[in-house]
Chain A
């Protein structure tokens, strides 16, 4: 077992050696520009891209012509939201999303607002799921797009995608989903799920960084997005720029492997995750954040009350995890996702996200359980809040000096 242990697979994943192997020839031997139509170097590169396009399409039940390669999910989200807004602005100017989306979606929506669009940011329920009745109430005749993520990156909850897309379609709107955390982890099928646009990323599924894709439906309805990058008209005119051939080949291989191994992998990881969660919630005053039934198999987000997340991560220095606490990022606010669930700031500050992955072993999970328990116990001994709690003092009765 190598220390530190990587349990931050929602942030990124290590590349699978099989993916690396597939990519390597495309850096030197097969270096051609996939857009070079008049010599074998270009043909070979194009062949690699075409094959990858099929591999990606297969994983999500799409056709290869519906896959647009991008630099990653942030670009895919931007292209989908801004591209749909521009393309369909004569039809309406209203977009619906949720407050727990990834920043790429939220900030693209803010951009649309600057361009004169109207955006509704739906709240979520305490378990992190969208209230379908609230969604339906928000739909108007001007609504052109509903953009709701498949699985949440911080708490792992899976939205009721089929019900959401049905509501969007009932009102004539398109349905887009940021499926970065779900694709390759659980079955995603664009037709069965009623998805019109879908963003995915290679580096979350054991592929390389800097490459992703946007699925854009071609039939029933034929969806178009206005290009956000001007140039040579690559990717059916929707995304110009010389294709990142090695990256795309890697994304394809990563998708193929997920397709083959996802089912057994999800079972293995959910057993490990459930063990981790069960052992850690034995600790007093620890709470699992988000719906535990509709949840990705490899994620557990747990708050350890009266312990601050960043301090806790420092004690757990042998574990690479992530915290919803403010101090870890440039902003001083705790996680907006956790706050959206109605968590108080102090509980949001006390949260740790454990993200298991393909290379996580049971031995590592056992070690993580031990280290986390010891660290929480140690920091509670240092915590004045824990002492007050143990003495039965109501922390809400104290007048805190906010600073």
Chain B
């Protein structure tokens, strides 16, 4: 399968690979996917007192599209408020990376990872997790 230039760029030079201190109450961690399915994403956000994401890191086990989707997600997250981050839609990722239909699940996983990280942060700070009512495309 031919990958788009943007997927290849993110895959070759992944942004924001790394690990934040998951025990910090300022850090939210989302771990989604399963090894059996061939992709696991871990996405972490560092949030300041104004509920703005100041840093984001990821590590992903998966195909090129999964790695690119999570790399792109961390780029988008930095500087966004938590509320705006919740609005990131998997189809935005599909569009930006020109993912083919068989790779849409990679973008879904990235969106799930963002929401899981935000909810982990919320729960750590005494807030209720936000239930996602969205039906994935």
In the bound complex, CA of A265 to CA of B36 (Å): 38
Do most interface residues of chain B lie in helix, strand or loop, or is the interface mixed? mixed
Q: Given the complex, which residues of B lie within 8 Å of A349, measured CB to CB? A: 35-36, 38
B37→A402 contact, CB < 8 A:
yes
A387→B19 contact, CB < 8 A:
yes
B59→A384 contact, CB < 8 A:
yes
Q: Does A114 contact B (CB under 8 A)?
A: no
Tell me the number of A-to-B contacts counted with CB atoms below 8 Å. Answer: 87
Q: Given the complex, which residues of B lie within 8 Å of A327, measured CB to CB? A: 38, 63, 102
Q: Given the complex, which residues of B lie within 8 Å of A401, measured CB to CB? A: 32-34
A308→B38 contact, CB < 8 A:
yes
A385→B35 contact, CB < 8 A:
yes
Query: Which single member of B17, B33, B62 contacts A381 (CB below 8 Å)?
Result: B17
A310→B64 contact, CB < 8 A:
yes
B60→A384 contact, CB < 8 A:
yes
In the bound complex, CA of A330 to CA of B1 (Å): 11
Q: Given the complex, which residues of B lie within 8 Å of A330, measured CB to CB? A: 102
Encode A315-353 as 1/0 by CB contact (under 8 A) with B. Answer: 100000000011100100010000000001110010000
Given A381-B17, A403-B105, are A314 and B36 neighbors across the interface (CB < 8 Å)?
no
Given A382-B60, A383-B60, are A308 and B39 neighbors across the interface (CB < 8 Å)?
yes
Q: What range describes how many residues of A lie at the interface?
A: 20 to 34
Residue ranges of A at the interface with B (Cβ–Cβ < 8 Å): 306-311, 314-315, 325-327, 330, 334, 344-346, 349, 381-387, 395, 398, 400-403
Segment 51-88 of B: residues with Cβ below 8 Å from A: 59-64, 66-67
B34 CB to nearest chain A CB (Å): 3
Given A325-B38, A326-B38, are A310 and B63 neighbors across the interface (CB < 8 Å)?
yes
Q: Given the complex, which residues of B lie within 8 Å of A381, measured CB to CB? A: 17
Q: Given A334-B38, A400-B35, A402-B36, 8 more contacts at CB 8 Å? A: A311-B64, A315-B11, A344-B36, A345-B38, A346-B38, A381-B17, A383-B59, A401-B33
B42→A384 contact, CB < 8 A:
yes
